[in-house]
Homo-oligomer: A and B are copies of this chain.
Amino acid sequence: MGQDVVSSGDYVLVVLDEKRKWLVKVKEGEALHTHKGVVDLGSLIGMPYGCTIRSSRGEEFFVVRPTLADFAVKAKRATQIIYPKDLGFILMNLAVGRGSRVVEAGTGSGVLTGVLASWVMPEGRVYSYEVREEFLKVAKKNLERMGVAEYVELKNKDVTEGIEEDNVDAVVLDMATPWLVVDHAYMALKAGRVMASFSPTIEQVQKTVFEMEKVGFIDVRTYECLLREIIVKEGRTRPESFMVGHTGYVTFGRKVVRAL
């Protein structure tokens, strides 16, 4: 169980409480500066996961394994990220598994990329298109943190001009103009598989759905997912007062080849 001891280079989640958590890289000589004092990250090397550590001000912090949700929420952001509620729902609705080959566009901050890679690794691959080079730098960093960079091929190309892969197991779009890629997605996808598109606005959804229906996708469905935290306290249990009201809509469709 050697992997449960913190090693130099590990990304760990340092937790003060439900609201204050930091995703940091463990390294000799590095420190995490908080309003509750400084945490010496080098001193974590060799300590077991789940341990407690005191800051310079004597405050107790916890050191735990980050989840995919932690990597998502704490990602360096080039763009709006997709939230865990949507990430998980997308995964459940794709016809992919270990070893699958997936095309994604755009890469953005690389959060969805990393989740897809975690799912198809190690034999599978994610081919991720992004026109903005500066986003690819951020995405690369996030993929390294998640430990899945080697399963991703980042492509600094304009996906509206075409998808170079074919026979892929899924196409996932998270970009401003998904409707411009629907036709390419249809061509690249294996018959019988799913494409997904994530968009914040209803106009994007409409254009994408109409295009998907036009090129022949079936079972085209759009969803929104609302997540609400419930504060559970003795005698004072209630939903949180403020919540995220909207992230985006997710649309799914399946490629079929109609009989002549």
Q: Which residues of A contact B (CB under 8 A)?
A: 1, 4, 15, 17-18, 21, 48-52, 54, 60, 62-69, 72, 84-85, 87-95, 97-98, 115, 118-119, 121-122, 167, 190-194, 200-203, 205-206, 209-210, 218-232, 234-247, 249, 251, 254-259
Residues on B with C-beta less than 8 A from A244 are: 241-243
Answer whether A121 and B98 are a contact pair too, CB < 8 Å, given A50-B257, A239-B246: yes
The 4 closest A-B pairs by CB, nearest first: A50-B191, A88-B88, A49-B192, A243-B245
| A-B contact list, 24 entries, CB within 8 Å | A15-B218, A15-B219, A15-B254, A50-B190, A51-B192, A52-B259, A60-B258, A65-B95, A67-B94, A67-B194, A84-B92, A87-B92, A98-B98, A201-B235, A205-B237, A209-B232, A222-B229, A222-B232, A223-B227, A223-B229, A228-B245, A240-B245, A242-B242, A243-B243
Identical copies of this chain, number = 4
In the complex, chain B residues whose CB is within 8 Å of the CB of A87: 88, 92
Q: Are B67 and A192 in contact (CB under 8 A)?
A: no
| In the complex, chain B residues whose CB is within 8 Å of the CB of A224 | 227-228, 230, 239
Q: Is the CB of A64 within 8 A of B202?
A: no
Q: Of B51, B227, B254, which is within 8 A of A257 by CB?
A: B51
